[in-house]
Structure formats: C-alpha cells, structure tokens
Structure 1
C-alpha cells in the first residue's frame, strides 16, 4: 500500500509541474521564433539614434513609458530623449504590472513628414 501511495504522490507532483514547464518552453519558443523573424541580432538602440534612422528600420529599445498620449500612442523615454510610439491595446494590457518599470520594445521606425515614430511590434518587461 505504501508503494502505491508513494507512486501516486510522485505522479501528482509530476502532473502539477509539467504544465508550468511547458508554459515556460512555449514562451522560449515564441521569443526564439520572433528573433528569427528579424533575421539578425539587433543591439539595443537609444532614442537619440532611433530619431535618425531611415523608414522601416527595425530596432529594439529599452526604457519606460512617460505618459499616454492617445488610445494607442505613448511617449517613450530611455534617458537619451523621448519619442512617440504606437502600441496596441493588447500589448498595453499585458504590461499592467510593469507600466512604470523598464520595458523592452521591438519596433519599426515610421518616418512621416520628417518626424519619427515607432510602430511597436512586441513589448515585454526588461527584467535586467
């Protein structure tokens, strides 16, 4: 009887840990797939540099949201300057706990009439 209890306890423990591990692997696979879509390793760019890049350049920025300007427009800063970013509501909701903290954004430069804006493709908290 003791062996059966021990095996059932081990089985229950395995069943509770397996979904958590699968969830972590899913995020890892998603991150790797996203990076592969960029086709190159991108260094973190500063806002000052981003303002001078050509249209459709893909960049990664690290900083924080200064304030919300409109439904999907925000002011982003990294210490070297500020720039307007356009981010979907879904991405904004995902940052609920990290809105005041440092975030990483993957974005595409959108140049119109000499002004640079960033179209955010992906966002996540910067844990480091």
Structure 2
C-alpha cells in the first residue's frame, strides 16, 4: 500500500521534468527566423535570429547583424551583451523583438547567446 502512494507522489515529479526539457512549441512559441523575415515582420513581433554581429554602428548600443539573408540593425543594451569577448566571426543567437520605425526596422535585443 505504501509503495503505491510513494509511486503516486513521485509520478508528477518525473512528468514535470520530462515536459520541461521539451519546451513549448504551440502558438506564440518563438522559432528561429531570418533577417529577411524580420524585415517584413510587424512591430513588436518576437524574433530569434542566428548569425554574426559584424559591426558596431555610430549610435549608442547599436550594431549591424548579418545572416545568410541580409543585414539589420540591432540594439543591444550593454548589460545584455555576453560576459566573454566576441567578434564578427563569432556565431550568436539573438532573442528580441522587431522595432518598426518610420523609415526602418531594427531588432531590440533582450538576450545574446554565443553559439559554439
């Protein structure tokens, strides 16, 4: 009898651990997009980009990001930059949202990850 109760107590722990690794893939889930699709996306659309930061722009905290489909300006707050140095050859993953201005679009980056 005690073994059955013990198993019932442990079952939710194992099922939660299994689901946590899977990740949410339904509506609203963020998936990798390209610069070209980010250029066409509407304001505040969540995006995840993978490519290279190739240049620092003159504006404060703005950089030029490039993938195989093109380039786009990205704004990265200093506290969101990775703690390790990186250069234009370092593959990075950016998580953020599209910021549509009157004349251009850029990505407001919330997270920068270095991809090994």
Considering the TM-score relative to the shorter chain, is it more than 0.5?
yes
TM-score by length of 1: 0.63
Q: C-alpha separation between the residues in 2 aligned to 1:99 and 1:91?
A: 17
Pick from 88, 106, 111: which aligns with 2:77? 88
Q: Which residue of 2 aligns with 1:68?
A: 56
Pick from 86, 100, 104: which aligns with 1:111? 100
Q: CA deviation at 1:107?
A: 1.1
Q: Which has the higher helix share?
A: 1
Matches within 5 A, 1:8-19: none
- Could you tell me whether the CA contact under 8 Å between 2:100 and 2:106 is conserved in 1? yes
Q: CA deviation at 1:71?
A: 2.8
Q: CA deviation at 1:96?
A: 1.1
Number of aligned residue pairs:
92
**Residue 43 in 1 paired to residue 28 in 2?**
no
Say what the alpha-carbon RMSD is for the aligned residues.
Answer: 2.2
- Could you tell me whether the CA contact under 8 Å between 1:109 and 1:119 is conserved in 2? yes
Unaligned runs of 5+ in 2: 1-19
Unaligned runs of 5+ in 1: 1-31
Q: CA deviation at 1:95?
A: 4.3
If asked which structure has higher relative contact order (CA below 8 Å, sep 6+), I would say 2
TM-score by length of 2: 0.69
